[in-house]
Amino acid sequence: MLRACRILVAITARSLAAVPQVTDPLQMRAMVVLRSRETLSLGQLARSVGIHLTRASRLCDRLVSQGLVDRTDDPANRRQLLLRLTAEGRDVVDEVMRQRAEAIQPVLARMAPASRRALVRALGDFDRAAEGFEERELWAMGWTS
């Protein structure tokens, strides 16, 4: 079981290393959250990712300067910033997820159909048993599902 976890972590690390625009897992984590939620305030992103507002602001400064995130004033609240991925940012997230799927597919293909079905059932049980995890913890390495 621990080896399977290490393999998934290695797949995550490889997928991030293959995308030059993303320099650390926290950037990917923020981008995945933005990809899943479309538009967020800076405060919402900080809470979702589990970091202090100041750190989220610096993170977004880097993502904006790389052209991966757009930052605009909230028309309903001028004191608040709204963040959304640019087309390039969406492409980066999609590419990372594509690479992860490509890495996992051959492993699953080598498993017997009965083993794949058993794995699906076991992972469903694992998901239900892990109910206590906060949503932001589930995004920790930038997985979308």
3-class SS string, the chain: CHHHHHHHHHHHHHHHHCCCCCCCHHHHHHHHHHHHHCEEEHHHHHHHHCCCHHHHHHHHHHHHHCCCEEEEEECCEEEEEEEEECHHHHHHHHHHHHHHHHHHHHHHHCCCHHHHHHHHHHHHHHHHHCCCCCHHHHCCCCCCC
Mean pLDDT in residue range 63-76: 93
Which has the closest alpha carbon to 33: 44, 24, 22? 44
Res 20: pLDDT: 84
Mean pLDDT in residue range 24-45: 91
Res 77: pLDDT: 86
Mean pLDDT in residue range 42-71: 95
If you count them, how many residues does the chain have?
145
- Does pLDDT of 68 surpass 90? yes
Burial (CB count <10 Å: 0-12, 13-18, 19+), residue 2: exposed
Query: What structural domains does the chain harbor?
Result: 2-130 (1.10.10.10)
pTM equals 0.80
> What is the chain's mean pLDDT, rounded?
88
